[in-house]
Homo-oligomer: A and B are copies of this chain.
Amino acid sequence: MTPTSPETSHDPRTGLPTTTARPTSRAELERTMARAVAAAPTLSRAAPRDRARWLHTVADAVEGARGDLVRLADWETALGTTRLQGELTRTVAQIRFYADEAAAGYFLRVEHDTADGQTPSLTRVNVPLGPVAVFGASNFPFAFGVLGHDAASALAAGCPVVVKAHPAHLGVSGKLFGLARAALAAAGAPDGALGIVHGFETGVELVKHTDLAAVAFTGSQTGGMALWRLANERPVVIPVFAEMGTVNPVVVTPLGATRIEEVARGLVASFTLGHGQYCTKPGLVLAPKGSGLAARVAGELERLAPEPVMLTRRIADGVRSGVEAMRDAGATVAVQLGGDGPGWSAPAAVLEAPLAEVRAGSRLLEEVFGAVVAVAEYDAPEQVLATLTQLPGALAATLFAGPGEDPWAVRWLETLSGKVGRVVLDDWTTGAPLARAQQHGGPWPSTTQPTATSIGARALERFVRPVAFQGFRDELLPPVARRSNPWSIPCRVGGDWIRAGAS
């Protein structure tokens, strides 16, 4: 590993440094991985209820440090204390959610088939994969950070976690890690359950490490795809669950356009939320010609006059180059505001695009990570389906429809749902609600594994794989696979779900 200079986080409002971290050395990485490997069997053997207890202790600790965490995060991200208070509340709820889902045990997908003379007895259960590397996102220092969705769901599933701290918020990362380590130790979790590393090259070495079993990543296409390629070059290839930003289309039907004022106001609120730094930000809107959506959105943006301050200098630069690329792709700027403030300031912009330019391969179908949106108006609804089929895979989409069985909504929904992981009716994609049935992840290139989600009950299932036990008697089996069901988890037995206590 080549020696590297320290990483530094900055105050985006001023561009001044906040926190510095020395890159993790090769020897430290080896020690961290050795601790994770040593912890893996303990985590795997622990009853899901015990892991849930550990995680609730972590959630308590995060809640207890709320004030410090929010102040530190606001300094390092400029996302504002209101948003960060909400994100911290959400993050604590997430940790508890994955703890409770683990304890509920559905993710283990236990299934028993009884021997019947011809066929031997078979039991299939999900087992933890082993140490998981988590690469947190820049835009959610809490919700996709050191203790975010990926880390909490991996721990809940029974895997040790090694976090690569995001360089944009080293202070928050270090603080969260310290809280969690202490809480896990106090709760009785093994020492290696959670580790942390710093530095770009160390992150690369982490993904290449023999003992690593999986990678979870939230962020840009560039970052996620690089990790995916790296993992595919390992002698033993491991899964990479990369959830990456996409354009997240919004489609307004002719009937949906009857409330175009509401759509315009909602769109501006959504695409400027967190300064446009949401992987679920709506980036492209199709609306009927004559609805005047582009002009209304431009007017609403001017009224609000946001002054985006981005998480990093690179992100701020990316907003400017992204708007240029959209212009090169045939869009015109309806309004562009701000971007000349101190620190990592960047503009907010509304662009208008001819529908004919919204086609496969166009830059208009790629994310610009910032408060930027393109509006394309269609002459007749018959044109829309052809445009929808050109869309690349995305995390989410919105459909604004009329009341009842809006005929265009029904026709477009099938195509839209073939392109995304989540379709929202008459509301916005930003802020994926925390719920069991949530799906945050869609077809390539929104994720590297279209069956994976980084939010919701199935998030745990990324970090387990099935093992079948054939012809075993209970006393040799781990508790999860015993027909006596000591953990009282739901089982499918002979084709039917049994809530608990199968025998």
Contacts and interface: CB of A to CB of B under 8 A. Distances in A.
A410 interface: yes
Given A111-B436, A405-B475, A470-B433, A444 B236 contact: yes
Contacts of A409: 476
A437 B490 contact: no
How many copies of this kind of chain does the complex include?
2
A70 interface: no
A443 interface: yes
A451 B465 contact: yes
A85 to B, nearest CB: 15
A262 interface: no
A473 B492 CA distance: 30
Interface string A431-460: 001111111001111001111010011100
Contacts of A404: 475
30 contacts: A104-B495, A106-B492, A111-B436, A113-B435, A113-B437, A120-B427, A122-B433, A122-B437, A124-B458, A129-B450, A236-B393, A236-B444, A237-B444, A237-B448, A239-B451, A404-B475, A405-B476, A406-B476, A421-B466, A421-B467, A422-B467, A425-B470, A426-B471, A436-B492, A436-B495, A456-B468, A457-B492, A458-B466, A490-B497, A497-B499
Contacts of A445: 236-237
A245 to B, nearest CB: 17
B104 A468 contact: no
A451 B466 contact: yes
A448 B465 CA distance: 13
Interface string A462-492: 0011111111110111100000000000101
Nearest to A470: B424
A417 B476 CA distance: 12
Given A124-B437, A405-B476, 7 more contacts: A123-B437, A124-B439, A406-B476, A414-B478, A422-B468, A424-B470, A424-B471
Interface residues of A, number: 80
A423 interface: yes
Contacts of A422: 467-470
A137 interface: no
Interface of A: 41, 104, 106, 109, 111-113, 119-120, 122-124, 127, 129-130, 232, 236-239, 392-393, 401, 404-406, 409-410, 413-414, 417-418, 420-427, 433-439, 442-445, 448-451, 453, 456-458, 461, 464-473, 475-478, 490, 492, 495-497, 499
B414 A467 contact: no
Contacts of A122: 433, 435, 437-438
A425 B113 contact: no
Contact of A111 (B424, B437, B443): B437
Contact of A435 (B119, B449, B477): B119
A113 B475 contact: no
A442 B404 CA distance: 47
Contacts of A104: 495
A451 to B, nearest CB: 5
Nearest to A401: B476
A236 to B, nearest CB: 5
Max chain B CB contacts within 10 Å: which of A404, A425, A451, A473?
A451
Contacts of A413: 476-478
B436 A113 contact: yes
A417 B467 contact: yes
A455 to B, nearest CB: 9
Contacts of A497: 490, 497, 499
Contacts of A434: 119
